[in-house]
Structure formats: C-alpha cells, structure tokens
Structure 1
Amino acid sequence: MIKALIFDMDGTIVDNMGVHTAVWLDVLAEFGVEITAAEFQATMAGMTSLETLRKLVNPEMTDTQAAEIARRKEEQYREQYRAAMQPVRGLLSLLQEARRAGMSLAVATAAGNDNIDFVMNGLALWDSFDAVVGADDVERGKPHPDLFLLAAERIGVPPEHCLVFEDALTGLEAARRAGMAAVAVTTSHNIDEVAHLPQVRQVIPDFTHVTVADFLGEAG
C-alpha cells in the first residue's frame, strides 16, 4: 500500500525547468560548452550543480570553484523566475487531500538550500511536508537513489510504500533504483519519453485530475 508521497521540486512542484536550463546554457557557454536545452534536460536535470559542472566543464573542478559558479547561476535563476513562481496546477489540492488521508509527504530535490528556501518560502509550503531533503544532505544527486531513500528514512516509510512524483528522466531512474513507483509529470518531457518506463504508473501534465484514491489502495 502506498503510504507516502515524495515530490521532486524543480519541474514538479514548480514548472521552472525552462528557466533553470536557459541560465545553465548561458553559464556553460562561457566555458565553451555547447549543449541543447533538450540534451541538458534529458541528461543533467536532477544532478547537483557540482556534478553538472564536473561532467560538462571540468572533471577536476574543485568544490570551491564549482560553488562560486553555481552561486552565480542560481542567483540569475532566482532573479528571472521570482515573478513567475507558482505551484504546478492542482498541487495544493492534492497535498491537502493526502494530508487528510493520513499520508506522509516529503520533498526530495537536487536543489541546494538557497533554492529550496526560495520555492518553499515563496509558496508557503514548509508546513505541507514532513521532510525536505536536498543536495546538501547527500553525496550524490539523481539518478542515484540517495535523495529518495533519505526522504523515505526521514518520514519513516519503507521505499516500497512510497510513490514519487518526478519530471526528469534522471529522477525517474532514481525512483526505480530506490525501489519506488513513480508518477511522471510532463513539464520537461513528453509522454512518449516516460510512459514506457517500468517504474512509471501514471503520466500527468499537472495535478489537476490526480486524487489520493488513484493510488491509496495500491500495493507498494
């Protein structure tokens, strides 16, 4: 039985991946890295900033160097996205319904603390979740399962009883590796890219027509 819902943040709680990707492409271009938005979202979304920079710019980049580049990138992202911030449609109703049903709720995101605070404070969501874990809490981002497993541990629910909501291919793979079923949110990829994945139980454009009854009685 599904007892907990674990939400990715960027691209799932908020539809902001277009802004994130555009800013990343500008930053990467400064280092001579050419990559399309589609390629970036398919391969890098869900990774930490350090992982992204070491993979695309310099595998020997130090933590200090990466932190400075990431700080500049994230400041640009927050400045560009601030005025447009809003939850993905239907999210707040689903959270309220899940809470009434006694389900545990968590966020597992590859974002750093500043970006987590930016969204969670901006949408007043802190009280909606039992746990929030991010890049600063783990050594490895997605597609490794660490974020989802830590979220499950903190809410005290076994992975097989958790359902993940995720937009990124790397995040959906992380859910599979964590032993969790997933619902794919198509803010970043189309249905053909995610529907065939074995861990994906449902594909949705947003949360408008999602209810707890859709999965409350399912086996984990």
Structure 2
Amino acid sequence: MTSPDNSPTPPTPVDPRDADLSGIRGWLFDLDGVLTPTAVVHMHAWSRLFTPFLEAHGAKPYSDDDYFAYIDGKPRYDGVRSLLESRGIRLEEGEVTDAPTADTVHGLGNRKNDAFNATLAEEGVTAYPGSVALLDAVTRAGAAIAVVSSSKNAPAVLAAAGLADRFEVVVDGAVAAREGIPGKPEPDMFERAAELLGLPTEACAVVEDAESGVKAGAAGEFGIVVGVDRGVGREALEELGADVIVDDLDELLPAVERAAAASAPESPAPSTTREDPS
C-alpha cells in the first residue's frame, strides 16, 4: 500500500499488549528518553549552548522544538551541523580536539559536551520505573540486552542511573567513532549491538524514542521496532515505521510475560507408576 506521494505506507502499529514477541531473544535499547529521562538533560545542555550562540549571531532564538526537529537522536556533531544549517550559519568543521571555546562545528560539539556534564552533575538522573520493570522482565525471560546510544556519555549516564551493571554490551557514540560505524538514522549501530550479543537482527527488538532512532530500526531487518512517545508524537513514530508505540515501556509487560510463558519448557507429568517396596 502506498501514500498519495507513492511512498510506502507503514503498517498500523499493534496494541502493545498484543505484540508478538515470540521470536525476540535480544533487546536493543536507546538510552536517552528510553531508559532514562536524560533527553531532558540533553535538551537543557543544548539550550545552554545554542541560546547565547544564536543570540550572538542575530539568528532565530533556540527552542525545545529545535531539539526534536534537528538534534534528537543524532551524534553530537551531526546535531550541531543540523541546527546551524536550520539557521543558515556556516562554520569551519575544525577538529575533534578543538577547545570548547572554538566557534567551529567540533568546538561547539565539545562545548555542548561540557554543558551536558555540568547539567548532569547539577540535575542527576533516575531511570524510568516502567523501563526498569521491562528490563527486569526481559532479563528474567532470558533475553540479552544492549544499549545503543548516539551519545558518547552513555557510560556516565548508565552509572548515574544505577544501570551500568545490567549491560555487557554498550554501543555508543564513542564506539561508533572508534569503529567507524555510521550513526542513526542508519541501522548500523543497532546491527553492531546485535552482532555483539551473538544474535541475528531478526531476533532483536529495537526500542527508541527519537525520530532518527525509529528510522534506523525500521531501516534494518529487526524483529520489532518499539517507539516510545516521549514528545515526538505517535503519528510521527508511526510514519517512521514503529511497529508498536507506547507511552511507557511497562505497557509491554503482558506481551513479554506471554512470550516467556509460551517458550518455557513444559514440566514433565508426574509419574503414576508405583514402585514395589524393596
């Protein structure tokens, strides 16, 4: 089926309670906005960066809408490029080693990183209770789990939220840069996480809240793509290819428990044969 512009029409998302998770053996979680409300920390950090910068350049003021439209889910320097392009501002690329004071793409990205660390220290972060409940459920069911985040701060965020010990596999912005893995909206980071878990992509669920992340999941051959609506909007997540859309991840608990029960080995029937006394 196609839309009026001849682009494929995505299937209608299913009710999370009815999601078919029977073949899912691995869960690939985005971090910011999925496991932790660090999207808010990132939003505040980007605002700390771009509010004075855009004012100094006489450009349209920065708003939270800019975060969702140009930055959310992208690697840091890509977010800088995207926002600058939206304002018609051109800067030199610079180098990744540029000082945070440099007015280059990399300098601004490094300035944002400093702003993020300062904001995280000031505000802290606590994991979403519903996300922790889902982590507990899928772990009990024997599934493997990984974090896939564009941020290079994923280890610090996981530690601050008390989640670091839960994940053996973390594919973040630092790993992507080191291994030359294309960032979201390409599916490569999720594919790498599945590979590190030792699972085929079709046996993995992608869990995302960002437009670029859902797009990445839909672009790969994953078993299911879960869109978490933390502000992007259900309609946008549906259009980008989310198979299931939730407001909170605990909405998936009935489907996880049903799949776990269906895959559990049957207990042997009690023996009815009586042994002769010796």
Asked if TM exceeds 0.5, the reply is yes
Partner of 1:164, secondary structure, is strand
For residues 63 and 145 of structure 1, the distance between their equivalents in structure 2, rounded to whole angstroms, comes to: 26
Superposed, 1:151-190 pairs within 5 Å as 151-180=193-222, 181-190=224-233
Letter in 1 for 2:198: G
CA distance in 2, matches of 1:202, 1:146: 21
Rounded to whole Å, the distance in 2 between the matches of 1:214 and 1:148 is: 25
**Residue 11 (structure 1) aligned with residue 33 (structure 2):** yes
- Say yes or no: does 1:37 pair with 2:52: no
Query: Do the aligned partners of 2:28 and 2:190 also contact (CA within 8 Å) in 1?
Result: yes
Contact 2:71–2:83 (Cα < 8 Å) also in 1:
no
CA distance 1:19–1:124, shift in 2 (3 Å): closer
Larger-Rg structure: 2
Percent of aligned pairs with the same amino acid: 25
Q: For the structure 1 residues 39 and 103, does the alpha-carbon distance in structure 2 shift closer, same or farther, using more than 3 Å as the test?
A: same
Q: Which residue of 2 aligns with 1:75?
A: 114
Structure 1 pair 188/63, CA: closer, same or farther in 2 (3 Å)?
A: farther
Residues 218 and 240, structure 2, Cα contact 8 Å, conserved in 1: no
Instruction: Pick from 46, 63, 83 the counterpart of residue 56 of structure 1.
Output: 83
Deviation at 1:184, TM superposition (A): 1.0
Q: Is the CA contact 1:54–1:60 (under 8 Å) kept in the aligned structure 2?
A: no
Report deviation, 1:54: 3.1
Inter-CA distance 41–98: structure 2 relative to 1 (3 Å threshold): same
Structure 1 counterpart of 2:146, one-letter code: A
Q: Displacement of 1:116 after TM fit?
A: 1.3
Residue 190 of structure 1: how far off its partner (Å): 2.1
What is the letter of the counterpart of residue 163 of structure 1? A
Greater RCO, 1 or 2 (C-alpha within 8 Å, sep 6+): 1
Residues 109-128 of structure 1 mapped to structure 2, 5 A cutoff? 109-112=149-152, 115-128=153-166
Cα drift, residue 126 of structure 1: 2.3
> Structure 1 pair 155/8, CA: closer, same or farther in 2 (3 Å)?
same
TM-score, normalising length: structure 2 = 0.69
What is the total number of aligned residue pairs between the two structures?
215
Q: Give the direction of change, closer, same or farther, for the CA distance of 1:196–1:71 in structure 2 (3 Å limit).
A: closer
- Conserved 8 A contact 1:106-1:131: yes
Does residue 47 (structure 1) correspond to residue 90 (structure 2)? The answer is: no
Deviations 1:26-71, CA, capped at 9 Å, x for gaps: 4234153545322331332111112222333446412333454333
- Measure the CA separation in 2 of the matches of 1:177 and 1:26: 33
Superposition deviation, residue 195 in structure 1: 3.0
Cα distance change, pair 79–7 in 1 and its aligned pair in 2 (3 A) = same
Is the CA contact (8 Å cut-off) linking 2:75 and 2:150 kept in structure 1?
A: yes
Partner residue in 2 for 1:131: 169
* 1:87 aligned residue: 127
Q: Do the aligned partners of 1:42 and 1:168 also contact (CA within 8 Å) in 2?
A: no
CA RMSD in angstroms comes to: 2.4
Offset from partner CA, 1:54-105 (integer Å, 9 cap, x none): 3334464123334543333223223323434111122222112211211110
Residue 141 of structure 1 is matched in structure 2 by: 183
User: Cα–Cα, structure 1 residues 125 and 134, in superposed 2: closer, same or farther, change >3 Å?
Assistant: same
Q: Distance in 2 between matches of 1:79 and 1:99?
A: 33
Distance 1:44 1:69 in 2: 13
